[in-house]
Amino acid sequence: MFSIPEWIIHLYTGESFCNIHRSVYEEVNKFIDSIPEPEYHDANRVIVEGHWIPEALLYLALVIYERWGDIGLKAMLHHHLLDYSNTLVTSGPYGFLVRKYGPSYGTIDVIRFVHKVLDHIESDFTTLLQLLKEGRDAYSIIQEVEKTWVGGIRHHKSFLSMLIKEKRKDLERCIEDLLRAARELRECIDVSVWEVSYLSWREEKRKDICPVCKSLVSSLEQSIMTPREYIQKGLAYKVHEKCLEYLKSVIEKSSKQGLSRVDIFKKLIVEHSLPPSVAFETLKERDLIKPGEVPRIFESRPPQVYDRGLEKEWSRLIEDAIAQVERMLEHTIPAADIIMYKKLPVVLDPSGRVSSFYRVLYGVLGLSKHELMPLLKEGKRDITLNKLKEHASKMFENVWIVSFPPEAFVGVDKVHLTPTALAGLAKICEIANVKIEFKLEWSKAELIDLLTSIYEKVSYREREWIDVLKKQIEL
């Protein structure tokens, strides 16, 4: 497994998906990776809780901008975000999902995390740009930045040297182009991350898996290697010729149905779980798509950026809410059972039901962030805490949720239920007199249709279970 993407992946995805000039990107790659010692590689990319430490990014951006201008900034951000994405899809919880269930699963979370980094870049540098345009003096700027930037300012002398009158206009232009580059990447980075995730998964499994039918390609079968640029590095996908013909028939049928070329590209990735490079090369061969024309995989959402203090307070409130509800319900059925087991060693939870319940609980409380964070921002801490406790109590008091935690791993177009969640679904369907297939993996549309069809046929407790599962699927 590669620890960081090969340069060809940076160059190919940057040019094909994000319209970054290859000649500039090659030079930026060499500059970023020029220090051979591993401990210094990507030294200016320090990301903490979704924040790229602004001071480190600013110094790097100024050097890049002086040499390669706005395209250099876009290439620099793309390079680092791809390296960061690769770290996430090869380790930790997201890496686990990708390795176990395939790139259709954990990649969604990685993309959201990358967008969170871009959100914070926009927030941090918009603040600095406004201060510069207001004509604030250097020390006033440092005071304001120290309050809002994660990490503050560590190198005051270097920072002050950028704020002298003679350099301010250059600094403003650099920040304006950095913000523009971040906004442009927001519209295209999804596809590049998806490609890195697919390559990582394929490396974990076997390189000779056909990305279309997901079966091995034997030496006796007719196949092609694509993209050609990957061949030299041993990264090209091996595709059955018959599968390639199938893809062409899908494209032809989709065209006759009136789908645009970008919609067909998205369809190949989402519905057929293809790596973006294979979808792109197949369409490019038929002159249906060109570099820089690829669409976003996911719909754009407004950035949700809050200051660091609020984020910490939010985390504390969630822990307080759970702890208070546990104390209140620790002797009440069905909560008593799950609370008691939480205090015991994990070996006494062989089915994983307790840990699954708490994962679902934290997930449900996390989904209320969009609704409740504005209250916290207004200083209404007690109201926010009480609402979190209401959500948590409903979970602990529902025997279905406690006994069969409705945990699901959600992909782009698929949902993987845990065995416990499937058992709960089967029992609820039995109450609704609806027969289902006993399978762990479902398409999103299929599962939503099923949940909708049984919703009115069961009691409010079962509906609460269904609501929790639906929230995960529709996120």
Tens place of pLDDT per residue across the chain (475 aa) = 444 578 899 999 999 999 999 999 999 998 987 755 444 444 556 777 778 889 999 999 999 999 999 999 999 999 999 999 998 988 888 888 888 888 888 888 899 889 989 999 998 999 999 999 999 999 899 988 888 888 888 888 889 988 888 889 999 999 999 999 999 999 899 999 999 999 988 877 677 889 999 899 988 889 999 999 999 988 999 999 999 999 999 999 999 999 988 889 988 988 888 999 999 999 998 888 888 777 777 665 555 555 667 888 999 999 999 999 999 999 999 999 889 888 776 556 667 889 899 999 999 999 898 889 889 989 999 999 999 999 999 999 999 999 999 999 888 788 999 999 999 999 999 999 999 998 999 999 999 999 999 999 999 999 999 999 999 888 7
Residue 222, both tokens: 């007719």
Residue 50's contacts (CB-CB under 8 Å, 6 or more residues apart) are 113, 116, 117, 119, 120
Residues 339, 342, 343, 349, CA torsion sign: positive
Q: Reduced to 3 states, what is the DSSP secondary structure of residue 417? A: strand
Closest residue by Cα to residue 353 from 345, 343, 367, 342: 342
Per-residue b or e along 204-228, where b marks 16 or more CB atoms closer than 10 Å to that residue's CB: eeeeebbbbeeeebeeeeebeebbe
Q: Judge whether 254 and 272 are in contact, CB under 8 Å.
A: no
CA dist list (Å): 430 to 400, 419, 454: 14, 16, 10
Helix, strand or coil for residue 203?
helix
| Tokens 């390795």 found at | 99
At 206, which helix (H) or strand (E)? none
Q: Cβ distance 72 to 20 under 8 Å?
A: no
**Alpha helices (H) along 234-380:** 241-256, 261-270, 276-285, 308-329, 335-342, 353-367, 369-377
What is the amino acid identity at position 58?
Answer: L
d(CA 59, CA 65): 10
Token couple for 157: 């002398």
Give the integer Cα–Cα distance in Å for 239 and 146: 53
Q: 330-356 burial, b if ≥16 CB within 10 A, otherwise e?
A: eeeebbeebbebbeeeeeebeeebbeb
- CB-based burial of residue 365 (10 Å sphere; 0-12 exposed, 13-18 middle, 19+ buried)? buried
